[in-house]
Structure 1
């Protein structure tokens, strides 16, 4: 099935989203079809994310890609290669990111899960996030432990920051397995945060892996990003698909 555009009604408005179904021959029985929420990076819904969702769908998952910045109305999408180097787009983008709190996305995730269920994803649910979506994928698992069985972050920032909404502060409510893939050098997730997250996950007895992709830059897994690395991206796909297969079925 081709990608469809849908609108998800949340407490704060209508969030555009992409939905991708697997080929019918790859679907699990109707009683336990697994689903995935893909939390976007900062640049908006665009062909690169649609392609990534399609690859997950090809592996047998019903995939939802919601626009996390919908509260600001129509925009972009931004160019992932130049958005932060251009002053005007950087200012606009940072304002949108800062204006969309973790708590907002956690609230929205309830509507995202409902939309997936309406599309037939009645089995286990996984989340995966990139860049700003990484922390949201983990916090989503903490907020909806009865629904989300696997949560992954790739080059996610501020996963163990000195803020109340940092994911490492909420692992006690998780039941999901966790996978974190970090860029080799990433100012948004430095070694001290990695160590803090590791400690929190171990103390909470969460089944987890934190893996450092040496030589990869922030954004390496997303094909239209300036730091995209084909070899690193394929390694990310191998890890992610294995992680979901083991956890979601």
Structure 2
């Protein structure tokens, strides 16, 4: 599919309005992919935080799926501080994995908070974006970020979803679960049953932390799944779990954003 600049694509996705855009942050110029239904709108905004392998067509297709449901989806390149970082995932080997880990570790909760402030300002300046509540979703490394931004922007972030998120509960002073009392929106966490990136104590501690708040939340563990089960291009893809997760998230956003 050819991505065109704020035009209309009539391919498999139907009439779609999409563009590669630039969001100016306090740290520089952050490239992002924007998609929404063709038409005047305005549409409720959703931020799609990437996973560790970074922005790629697989994620842009997910952004288009979100847009097809009636949302303005923004997929930022969170590695912009490093320059242009793109990984050819089918050729992934140990050397590439090391670079991916280093790229992932270059991002912090504080930096994502800064970037999210810039994206919300960008939404507010866009006529196609409906003012008010914002939704978000994050895969893998961004599971902790959706929690953080829900707390840092409680007046705007009303519906956040984490898919097999990592580093949500840590022993660090900036661990996102410590911010849960500040959250005003609704949170959704989907975990894989088998995930070496999520220590055994994380899910029980997350549930316990949520129980101490009045935050509306859902925490699910999908039986028989592995980390990354929503990615159709991976061997661990689980159709049933992935589609249930999509349904859950769209239900959340419909209730909170529309």
Relative to the length of structure 1, the TM-score reads 0.91
Which structure exhibits the higher relative contact order, with contacts defined as CA atoms closer than 8 Å and separated by 6 or more residues?
1
Q: Matched residue of 2:211: which SS?
A: helix
Q: Which residue of 1 aligns with 2:26?
A: 11
Are the structure 2 counterparts of residues 113 and 77 from structure 1 closer, same or farther at C-alpha, using a change threshold of 3 Å?
farther
Q: Which residue of 2 aligns with 1:20?
A: 35
Q: Which residue of 2 aligns with 1:144?
A: 153
Q: Which residue of 2 aligns with 1:94?
A: 101
Q: Which residue of 2 aligns with 1:248?
A: 257
How do 1:83-162 and structure 2 match up within 5 A? 83=92, 86-119=93-126, 120-162=129-171
1:67 aligns with 2:74: no
Q: Matched residue of 2:237: which SS?
A: coil
Q: How big is the shift at 1:116?
A: 2.1
Q: Matched residue of 2:197: which SS?
A: coil
How do 1:228-247 and structure 2 match up within 5 A? 228-247=237-256
Q: What is the rounded CA distance, in whole Å, between the counterparts of 1:122 and 1:207 in structure 2? A: 23
Q: For residues 136-186 of structure 1, what are the alpha-carbon distances to aligned partners after superposition, in whole Å with 9 as ceiling and x for unaligned?
A: 111111111111001110011121121222221111111110000001111
Return 5+ residue gaps in structure 1 as ranges: none
Higher strand fraction (1 or 2):
2
Note if contact 1:109-1:140 (Cα within 8 Å) is conserved in structure 2. Answer: yes
Return 5+ residue gaps in structure 2 as ranges: 1-15
Are the structure 2 counterparts of residues 116 and 78 from structure 1 closer, same or farther at C-alpha, using a change threshold of 3 Å?
farther
Q: What is the rounded CA distance, in whole Å, between the counterparts of 1:40 and 1:87 in structure 2? A: 21
1:217 aligns with 2:232: no
Q: For residues 93-116 of structure 1, what are the alpha-carbon distances to aligned partners after superposition, in whole Å with 9 as ceiling and x for unaligned?
A: 111111111211111110011122
Note if contact 1:3-1:50 (Cα within 8 Å) is conserved in structure 2. Answer: no
Q: How big is the shift at 1:232?
A: 1.9
Q: How big is the shift at 1:82?
A: 5.1
Q: What is the rounded CA distance, in whole Å, between the counterparts of 1:231 and 1:101 in structure 2? A: 32
Q: What is the rounded CA distance, in whole Å, between the counterparts of 1:82 and 1:237 in structure 2? A: 28
Q: Matched residue of 1:57: which SS?
A: helix
Relative to the length of structure 2, the TM-score reads 0.88
